[in-house]
Amino acid sequence: MNTSHLITAYYDAFNRGDREAMLSMLTDDVAHDLNQGARETGRDAFRAFLQRMDRCYGEQLRDIVVMVSADGLRAGAEYVVHGEYKVTDEGLPEAEGQRYVLPGGAFFDVRDGKIARVTNYYNLDDWIAQVGGNR
């Protein structure tokens, strides 16, 4: 699978809610850079992240555009998140089913046909403003 197809398949699995398919596309030692946060390492840490996300948020990504380096070892994606804030996430405003629409993006390293790094970005202040929190 080429890199463009890999990243597209990753987001297709995300939108279907197929977390096991997503995890199968990651290296065992995947590096996950959380938006405005720390780096987590490993597929198990990524699984725990997905479980927290699924508990607190219901999201679909739309208007996904994937860009790939000529050698296929790095990629980027831009998208629009359409979401619902379902359950309060630690350190964030109270959840009351608020809906949000937020541009976001991610950067990837690819190794041996799998995703070895995911770096996510979105504007946290914009999200907080949309869900009615004060920062």
More confident residue, 50 or 132: 50
Output the CA torsion 13→56→107→28 (10° steps): -70
Q: Which residue has tokens 């995703």?
A: 115
pTM over 0.75: yes
Distance CA 52, CA 89 (A): 8
Residue 134 pLDDT > 70, yes or no?
A: no
Q: What ranges do the domains of the chain cover?
A: 3-131
Mean pLDDT of the chain: 94
State residue 37's pLDDT score: 82
Residue from 124, 115, 134, 116 nearest 11 by CA:
115
- pLDDT above 90 covers what percent of the chain? 90
Q: What is the pLDDT of residues 105-124, one digit of tens each?
A: 999 999 999 999 999 999 99
State residue 38's pLDDT score: 87
Residue 74 pLDDT > 90, yes or no?
A: yes
Q: What is the pLDDT of residues 1-54, one digit of tens each?
A: 799 999 999 999 999 999 999 999 999 999 999 987 889 999 999 999 999 999
CATH number of 3-131: 3.10.450.50
Per-residue pLDDT band at 133 (split at 50, 70, 90): low
